[in-house]
Chains A and B, each alone.
Chain A
Amino acid sequence: MDTPASRSPLTRRQLVDAYFIENRTRLLEVAAFLDRLDRADDPELARDFRMDALHEALDVLRGEWPNRVKTMQMVFSDPTTEPLEALDRKSAQGAFDKSKLEAR
């Protein structure tokens, strides 16, 4: 499906006026989360696959992608096609562990 250009009835100026503050808040929350991790006494967390994905997603945020949210969704997604042989756990974790690809 071709994705048409956004049909936002609001102008860029109107969007910034209406939504800047709440998105500024969201960015500060992410920054505070990263600072909180730095203050935690657990160096092993630096290698957590979820945090690797989060840093990769932050790169997408700053990039010139045509569709940032879709690109970011794929950063977090399992790209494989083969079904699992058996249930390994009940719940999703928020990001795909890419070390599993390297292990194959």
Chain B
Amino acid sequence: MPYIDLHAHMVSRSTDDYVQMAMTGCVAVTEPAFWAGWDRSSADGFEDYFRQLTEFEPNRAAQYGIQHYAWLCLNPKEGEDRNLARDVLARIPKFLDRPTVLGIGEIGMNRVTRNEIATFRDHVELALEHNQLIHIHTPHLEDKYKGTRTTIETLLKYDKIDPARVMIDHAEEHTLDMILDNGFWTGVTLYPQTKVSPQRAVDMIEMYGPERICVASACDWGPSVPVAIPQFALEMRRRKHSEALIHRVIYENPVAFLSQCPKFQLTRPVPSLAGAAGGR
């Protein structure tokens, strides 16, 4: 079954992972800029990273029949350094016209500090200035609830924000409803430990319906599973959900969100499985 992984840090993965993803139906990935596990020492390091995301990685993915798109930013883990953030943000606009750049992301907060909020606002304003889609990281574990709430409160202060063009990612049971209630898209991250299992992700689909919800592997350099979306699909089948509903969550929903950027064009689009994929 074809699927799109809306959040995958492929620079951290091997070509074997591309093979596994391709063999299980992955047709496209979108890769947000993120933390490398250590702090970069200068804006030059980010510029090299942006080139990797927009030049090298699309070509590597294409060898396995996977379309690769990217989001650019200085990630929340490095958002405390305001000087570095200003330097990096000044370099982002020249990359925004590249053919595989979909928008600004994954921005947001880590420990929810005043500097992180200021850096987040700078990114939001950059996105609004350049009419970009926005992809947002929400904090980990005990910081998720506070960080998600602060993120939403910050976004709602901007009159120009269209929630339909914003993905607030890494939702869990205690944050999903506040994201959806305010009209944003959301993502459920399928992690073996620190986020959501396929079983809990299916629970959320059963409870809230498929409207504006995507699932993703968010595979990176930590414990994560690049074929987490097929595992989610398997769990959906185990629960006797329809193929149409599965297709909606893992393919049609990401297409609906991402297609708001005209650069997102699938080379082999898959027709809708009409029928029982309705909302709540």
Whole-angstrom CA separation of A44 from B239 in the bound complex: 44
Interface string of A72-104 (1 = CB under 8 A from B): 011011111101111111111111100000000
Give which listed residue, B80, B207, B241, contacts A4 with CB less than 8 A: B207
How many pairs of residues, A versus B, come closer than 8 Å at their CB atoms? 95
Whole-angstrom CA separation of A35 from B187 in the bound complex: 37
Decide if A69 is an interface residue (CB 8 Å cutoff): yes
Decide if B143 is an interface residue (CB 8 Å cutoff): yes
> Total interface residues on B, using CB and 8 Å?
38
Decide if B94 is an interface residue (CB 8 Å cutoff): no
CB neighbours of B206 from chain A (8 A): 6-8
Decide if B173 is an interface residue (CB 8 Å cutoff): yes
Give which listed residue, B113, B149, B203, B209, contacts A87 with CB less than 8 A: B113
Q: Evaluate contact between A90 and B110: CB separation under 8 angstroms.
A: yes
Give which listed residue, B111, B141, B174, B209, contacts A84 with CB less than 8 A: B111
Q: Which of A1-51 contact B (CB under 8 A)?
A: 1, 3-4, 6-10, 18-19
CB neighbours of A95 from chain B (8 A): 141-142
Q: A3-B207, A8-B206 are in contact. Are A81 and B142 (CB under 8 A)?
A: no
Q: How far is the CB of A3 from chain B (nearest CB, A)?
A: 6
Whole-angstrom CA separation of A89 from B143 in the bound complex: 12
Interface string of A52-69 (1 = CB under 8 A from B): 000000000000000101
Return the chain B residue nearest A84 by Cβ.
B113
Decide if B16 is an interface residue (CB 8 Å cutoff): no
Q: Evaluate contact between B181 and A84: CB separation under 8 angstroms.
A: no
Q: How far is the CB of A9 from chain B (nearest CB, A)?
A: 4
Whole-angstrom CA separation of A45 from B101 in the bound complex: 48
Whole-angstrom CA separation of A29 from B113 in the bound complex: 36
CB neighbours of A77 from chain B (8 A): 142, 144-146, 174
14 pairs, CB–CB < 8 Å, chain A vs chain B: A3-B177, A6-B203, A7-B206, A8-B206, A9-B239, A73-B145, A83-B113, A84-B112, A84-B114, A86-B114, A88-B111, A91-B140, A93-B142, A94-B142
Closest 9 CB pairs of A and B: A92-B141, A73-B174, A77-B145, A92-B140, A1-B177, A9-B240, A87-B80, A96-B142, A84-B113
Query: Residues on A close to B: CB < 8 A?
Result: 1, 3-4, 6-10, 18-19, 67, 69-70, 73-74, 76-81, 83-96
Query: Residues on B close to A: CB < 8 A?
Result: 77, 80, 110-117, 139-146, 149-150, 172-174, 177, 180-181, 199-200, 203, 206-209, 238-241, 280
